[in-house]
A and B are shown apart, each in its own frame.
Chain A
Amino acid sequence: MKTMEVLIELKNVKTYYFIPKGLFKTIAVRAVDGVSLTVHRGETVAIVGESGSGKTTLGKTAVRLLEPIAGKIIFEGKDITHLKGDMLWFRRKAQMIFQDPFTSLNPYMTIRQILEEPLIIHKIGDPSEREEIIAKALTEVKLSPPEEFLSKYPHMLSGGQRQKVGIARALVLRPDFIVADEPVSMIDASSRAEILYLLRNIQREYKMGIMYITHDIATTKYFSDNIAVMYLGKIVEFGPTSKVLKNPLHPYTRALMEAVPDPDPSNRFKERKVIPGEPPSPINPPSGCRFHPRCPYATERCKKEEPKFVEVEPDHYVACYLYE
């Protein structure tokens, strides 16, 4: 892992949303609140957490659809933290795939137009070259023969097919980095693996780096190399997927895993150990360890001081006083 080429590095990144309150005040939603993370070329890092943990904000910040208020983002050695007008080269290299294939595709455009648009924006190829790139991308996402799909509109496709178009749209620019934000959560369980295999195979072929955002920790087992578990704007555990899933350290990671059923008929005879309550608001996150109000092991110290990120076994990190 260590010898792989770094693609993107986030250093203590903070991204807040500011919402006006009354005439003179604004309140800050601390959606991402000090995240450091590296994605290497050819690697998939899963960002796991529940809604409100800041996963999407983190992903949008990494592809600079959002600008962080603090920290640094280095992409292929260049500081892109505050890129503004001079961003086109980066837009070409970093793409995002969205959760909802129903709203993320323009309903008035044909599949051909949807896939050609980014090529035109980035002035790639002449019309016949573009046609070729589009046909190749459709074949890569298994929408073949391409001619059958080119003149269709999104509503004529199934959810899985639309998400494949979303992936093809990200692919036509041959990006180095893809943020896939819950790419399968709105798709039937029986088709999820197909989309995830597709992403993985394309990634291997082109050596892309992927940030795979998901609330479903079970899929990370088969489709990621590293896992970062997020809770209320912070990464609470990080490590190689196999290590994190075999030996989950943070009480929140354990709770996430405990919550997911395997199809085992004995499940119905026992209750799951669940963590109580729901995540608090990132407007006013709890003091100390942000997980302490829901943690079965919380001590006085957890309420007051924030635990540091420590390496418990090689490459496996956690922020929790149980491991100090």
Chain B
Amino acid sequence: MLLEVSNLRLYYRTIRGLVHAVDGVSFDLDKGETLGLVGESGCGKSSTALALMRLLPKNVAVFKGKIILDSEDITSLSEEEFRARIRWKKISMVFQGAMNSLNPVLKVGFQVAEPMIIHLNMDKDEALKRARELFKMVGLSPDFVNRYPHELSGGMKQRVVIAMALALNPELIILDEPTSALDVSIQAQIMNLLKRLKKKLGISMIFITHDIALASDLCDRIAVMYAGNIVELGTAEQVLLDPKHPYAQKLIASVPRLREDRVPEFIPGAPPDLVNPPSGCRFHPRCPYATERCKKEEPPLISLEDGRIVKCWLYG
């Protein structure tokens, strides 16, 4: 087991009150495995990722839970230790929209080399040489190290950002909506690249997306998130072919399928306000199966016989 997250909570302080962005999230991840974190925008996917990287916004009010990486409890590390040993070196991340935040006045090769100079004490030439190798690994011509961001297309910039995340040989890379700004044909190219990296480097990945069909392209297991909770967690086969949680069922039914005739459905209503989440099961106001109990009592995480976890009273 590479990573074990238990009961992770992250609340933000706002003028409207506490935002319960991540509210008791637990999952684990094996070496070489890819976990998909899937759900509607605002359900807490990015916040979960930021908590793992311990890159917390200033207005964080609560940050709790246990994160074990390589058998080490990294929640108890000081900020210094975390920076020196964990962040970027063991866990790295491609941020949502990262390709648009490359520094416009620096050559992209230097931007990939920089973390190696800072964290690995490499000299500049050595780091640039490794940057060229990384460029090759992500499908860019090594000579592109001398280009500026504006001289690259969107797909190329996304490859640069992936190269940056790989620079320090992390064991885990978190990808937050890495293709959502790209056209479909470029998205498919990037997904192919990620598949290749997964196979070649044996690296573990957490792949964040609101598009559950896209998650099928990379993920071995899938965690479906709703309103700050994981509501179902299982293998890709279990979750995609036979979802159990009513929200997961609806989410999969909402995908317009190109190769099958299955008329897409939708989920009426909107996800709840996380300042004041619904009582009981947070999905109950939109759930066709909700009972009185669902309105009052929060369902526990229930392990089914096939090994998956579902947070729903239908199985309790």
- Which residues of A line the B interface, CB within 8 A? 50-51, 158-161, 188-194, 197, 215-219, 221-222, 245, 255-265, 267-268, 271-272, 274-276, 278
Contact = CB atoms under 8 A, between A and B. Distances in A.
Contacts of B184: 50, 215-217, 256, 259-260
Contacts of B210: 188-190
A262 B217 CA distance: 9
B195 A268 contact: yes
A286 to B, nearest CB: 16
Shortest 9 CB-CB contacts between residues of A and residues of B: A259-B188, A194-B266, A50-B183, A265-B236, A193-B264, A193-B266, A263-B213, A218-B256, A259-B184
Contacts of A191: 40, 254, 266-267, 270
B188 A272 contact: yes
B14 interface: no
A221 B211 CA distance: 18
Interface string B109-148: 0000000000000000000000000000000000000000
Given A161-B270, A257-B258, A267 B188 contact: no
Interface string B250-265: 1110111111100111
A196 to B, nearest CB: 8
- Judged by DSSP, the binding face of A is helix
A245 B258 contact: yes
A183 to B, nearest CB: 14
B237 interface: yes
B189 interface: yes
Contacts of B237: 265
Given A264-B216, A268-B220, A278-B154, 11 more contacts: A51-B183, A161-B270, A192-B254, A193-B254, A261-B217, A262-B213, A264-B240, A267-B216, A267-B217, A278-B153, A278-B185
Most chain A beta-carbon neighbours within 10 Å: one of B34, B263, B266:
B266
6 contacts: A188-B210, A189-B210, A189-B251, A219-B256, A260-B258, A263-B213
Contact of B187 (A192, A259, A263, A276): A259
Contact of A192 (B218, B219, B266): B266
Contacts of A278: 153-155, 183, 185-186
Contacts of B185: 50, 255-256, 259, 274-275, 278
B97 to A, nearest CB: 14
B41 interface: yes
Contacts of B34: 268
Contacts of A159: 41
B214 interface: yes
Contacts of A51: 183
Nearest to A197: B266
Contacts of B220: 268
A278 B254 CA distance: 29
Contacts of B252: 263
